[in-house]
Structure 1
Amino acid sequence: MNCTDDEIADRVRKIMVDVLDLRLNPEEITSDIPLYSPTIQLDSLNLLQLLVAVEEEFGRHIEDEDVMEADLVTVGDLLRLVQGQVGGPRTEGEA
């Protein structure tokens, strides 16, 4: 099943609320919020937990190199990384 960028973003925001135990509704997480802000409170450990949860949700592995190259500063950066990894058509042979 292919997801639109908006569907991916909605699912990632829900994962963020659950994994990071945020006291926000997913709709309140806007793309311009810094990941390492008091609002999101991301650190290296919960970034790893978040990425594992995203991989499980979408059934796709996100390469460490792709994470490092993404320069994750804002929520929008994270959403673009995930959209680039899981969006679009799958290649032949992918489950």
Structure 2
Amino acid sequence: MLSDDHVAQKVREIMVEALDLRLDPRDIGPQVSLYSPVIQLDSLNLLQLLLAVEAEFGGHIEDEDVMEADLETVGDLVELVRRHVAGLRTETPA
């Protein structure tokens, strides 16, 4: 079972790799804007980032969940992934 801290750290690591950021993942705080000059997220980068998150954690993050998350900060993204991971834990096979 993944802790919230582990999920947050993995999300930051994925961001650094998927977005080719020249940052240490530990230096990316939850309050950092995804659209800041530091992160420079755009719609294509968001798609790449979400695909990388899905590959790391498994499953699929629904478009509706992304839209409802109102992603503005790194913390918002981490929370979306936490909910996704929690949902994977509670799903039962059909």
Q: Answer yes or no: same fold by TM over 0.5.
A: yes
User: How big is the shift at 1:87?
Assistant: 2.8
Q: How far apart in 2 are the matches of 1:14 and 1:7?
A: 10
Cα offset, 1:70, TM superposition: 0.3
Aligned to 2:40: 41
Aligned to 2:91: 91
Q: Tell me how far apart the structure 2 counterparts of residues 7 and 60 of structure 1 sit (CA, whole Å).
A: 18
TM-score, reference length from structure 1: 0.92
Matched, 1:55 2:54: yes
For structure 2, the residue ranges without an aligned partner over 5 or more in a row are: none
Sequence identity (%):
62
Q: Write the letter of the residue equivalent to 1:93.
A: P
Per-residue displacement from partner, 1:39-66 (whole Å, max 9, x unpaired)?
0010000000000000000012100000
- 1:12 is displaced (CA, Å) by 0.6
Mapped contact 1:3–1:87 kept (Cα < 8 A): no
Kept after mapping to 2: 8 A contact 1:10/1:26: yes
- Aligned mates of 2:92, 2:44 — CA distance in 1: 34
Aligned Cα RMSD in Å? Answer: 1.3
1:74 maps to what in 2? 73
Q: Number of matched residues?
A: 93
TM-score (norm 2): 0.93
1:72 alignment partner, SS class? coil
**Aligned partners of 1:8 and 1:87 also within 8 Å:** no
Q: Which runs of 4+ in 1 moved over 4 A?
A: none
